[in-house]
Amino acid sequence: MAFNVDIRTLFLFYAFFNACIFFFLLLISEQKNNKHQFFIRIYTTGKLLQTITWLFFGLRGELVSETFSVIVANPMYIFGTAFDLFPFIWFKKENYSKYLRITNIVLVMFSATFLSLTFSEHGIRSAIASFILFLIFGSGGAIILSNTTSSKTQKIAALLSIITAIAMAFRAYLTAFENVSNSLFSETPIYIISYVLGFIVPFYWTILFMMLLNEDNSNEIIFQKNTIALDNEKLANLNATKDKIFSIIAHDLRGPMGGIIQLGEMLSGKLGKLSNIEKEETIKIITQTAKSTHNVLSNLLQWAKSESGLLDIDKKSISINELVFETEQLLKENIINKSLHFKNSTNKNSFVFADFNMAFTIIRNLVANAIKFTPEGGTIEITNEQLGDFMKIYVRDNGVGISRKVIDKLFHVDSNYFTNGTNNEPGTGIGLVLCKEFVHKNGGEIGVESEENIGSTFYFTLPIHN
């Protein structure tokens, strides 16, 4: 089958087509604040080299000699082809092995230099050029495919590159060892395929390259939106934290401290007029108020440290039974004052791997809440059970319970929900927020089940191993 096509005209057409792409990319690369400018300029350089190459091939024998074509045009085409591939390989270059990138550069430079010094007959030179292109297309495609993070667009370019490499390998073999004509329109199918791929694939790469830039821009926009959303969420949390702190300072610290001052002034002014029973009762109220205020202040300071990242976590093996025992001793006066039945039903051989101070704070706050919302004569029980690699601890009471609407507000700093206990004990809500944060910092989860007028069960999990 024969085709009456002027191959020089075809080469000049390819030169014109590459020139159009070159000027288009040149305009894009000069845009200000273009983060892809480096990659675009590499690709643009490749198109410039290919434009000059096709001009040399199309005008060979007229404006350009055969010798000049061998020395300059052929290596220029090698570099131009490599520059087409480099942006696909280097895009997000931190994902690729430095060794593979350097190998590819050395391969191109060596191949172009070797070809420029080859003055063999046309068939041998064509075989060498085909083999060099096989190495460039093949290695480039392999580098892209070897990375699991390559995008779909990059993988398409890699597959086209490998297909072209296979065609070039067959052409090199037939030209060198089978003495088959390497004419563009030879009846040998592999030559037709190799020439078409060698010409068309770089054009298609341009489309893929623009898609790759668009993909990265889209991903960048999504990333920026997610970052903005995250920053807004953090800002909202900070504002909620600020409001919560101001609320606690204004009501739950200032109020009790004012009460202590008033009681102290009363004692100092009427000390001689008060009976021993009145003095004892007043001192008891001052002590209880001071303890309650101290507890609020302690929670507030720990929470502030946690929010600012200044709280160190020192995890170690902790006995649940001993932790509950220490909590009972700390809150024993509160338990006695309300005639509560406190049961430490935890297993003496149960251990968790967590920060002691945080674990103690969690149990202390949950037990303090149970005391606060359990009427006189009620029962509080602490139990535990092992669930796989976690220990689940329960704090049960038969107190006033919590409504479903209120449960949804617990553990949230922005809920602004707090209520007084059965004996009007003040509450801030900060204790449960702190519990949730400390549980999560130790790798566990926290929750609650409750029914009004029946009681509540707060539970949390902590890992038992490192």
- pLDDT, one tens digit per residue, over 8-51 is 777 788 888 888 888 888 887 776 556 677 778 888 888 888 88
Q: What is the pLDDT of residue 2?
A: 44
Name which residue leads in pLDDT, 322 or 36. Answer: 322
Tens-digit pLDDT profile for residues 142-167: 877 777 777 787 788 788 888 888 88
Confidence bin at 96 (pLDDT 50/70/90)? very low
**Pairing mode of beta strands 351-355, 315-319:** antiparallel
The mean-pLDDT minimum among 258-262, 390-394, 415-419 falls in 415-419
End-to-end Cα separation, the chain, in angstroms: 76
Task: Using the CB atoms, write b or e for 227-255: b if 16+ within 10 Å.
Answer: eeeeeeeeeeeeebbeebbeebeeebbee
Tens-digit pLDDT profile for residues 356-368: 888 988 998 899 8
Q: How far apart are CA 106 and CA 225, in angstroms?
A: 41
Q: What is the pLDDT of residue 166?
A: 85
For the cut 50, the answer to whether the pLDDT of residue 269 exceeds it is yes
Name which residue leads in pLDDT, 114 or 385. Answer: 385
**Pairing mode of beta strands 446-451, 455-463:** antiparallel
Name which residue leads in pLDDT, 125 or 440. Answer: 440
What's the maximum distance between 2 C-alpha atoms anywhere in the chain?
Answer: 128
For the cut 60, the answer to whether the pLDDT of residue 385 exceeds it is yes
Q: How far apart are CA 122 and CA 61, in angstroms?
A: 14
Q: What is the pLDDT of residue 117?
A: 55
Name which residue leads in pLDDT, 30 or 391. Answer: 391
For the cut 50, the answer to whether the pLDDT of residue 120 exceeds it is yes
Name which residue leads in pLDDT, 107 or 50. Answer: 50
Q: How far apart are CA 15 and CA 24, in angstroms?
A: 14
Name which residue leads in pLDDT, 88 or 186. Answer: 88
For the cut 80, the answer to whether the pLDDT of residue 185 exceeds it is no
- Counting beta carbons within 10 angstroms of the beta carbon of residue 91, is it exposed (0 to 12), middle (13 to 18) or buried (19 or more)? buried
Report the pLDDT averaged over residues 437-457: 91
Confidence bin at 99 (pLDDT 50/70/90)? very low
In the chain, pLDDT over 90 holds for what percent of residues?
15
Q: What is the pLDDT of residue 325?
A: 93
C-alpha distances out from residue 159 to 107, 154, 233, Å: 20, 9, 43
Q: What is the pLDDT of residue 122?
A: 59
Query: Does the domain formed by 313-463 have CATH 3.10.129.10?
Result: no
Name which residue leads in pLDDT, 250 or 62. Answer: 62
Report the pLDDT averaged over residues 435-456: 90
Instruction: For 11-140, list the strands marked E by DSSP.
Output: none
Q: What is the pLDDT of residue 322?
A: 93
Name which residue leads in pLDDT, 93 or 64. Answer: 64
**Cα three-residue angle 314-316-318, rounded to 5 degrees:** 125
The mean-pLDDT minimum among 119-123, 227-231, 314-318, 403-407 falls in 119-123
Name which residue leads in pLDDT, 252 or 14. Answer: 14
Q: The pTM is what?
A: 0.48
Report the pLDDT averaged over residues 307-323: 83
Q: What is the pLDDT of residue 382?
A: 95
In the chain, pLDDT over 70 holds for what percent of residues?
73
179, two tokens: 């003495």
What's the chain's average pLDDT? 77
C-alpha distances out from residue 238 to 233, 244, 300, 462, Å: 9, 10, 15, 27
For the cut 80, the answer to whether the pLDDT of residue 372 exceeds it is yes
- Counting beta carbons within 10 angstroms of the beta carbon of residue 394, is it exposed (0 to 12), middle (13 to 18) or buried (19 or more)? middle
As beta bridge partners, residue 362 has: none
The mean-pLDDT minimum among 86-90, 122-126, 171-175 falls in 122-126
Tens-digit pLDDT profile for residues 399-414: 888 888 888 777 776 5
Name which residue leads in pLDDT, 248 or 267. Answer: 267
249, two tokens: 């300072």
Name which residue leads in pLDDT, 250 or 323. Answer: 323
* Location of each CATH 1.20.1070 domain in the chain: 7-231
Q: May I ask the CATH class of domain 7-231? A: mainly alpha
Looking at residue 31, its amino acid is: Q
Q: What is the pLDDT of residue 95?
A: 46
* Location of each CATH 3.30.565.10 domain in the chain: 313-463
* Residues in contact with 52: Cβ distance below 8 Å, sequence separation at least 6, in sequence order: 15, 73, 76
375, two tokens: 């009427």
Confidence bin at 127 (pLDDT 50/70/90)? confident
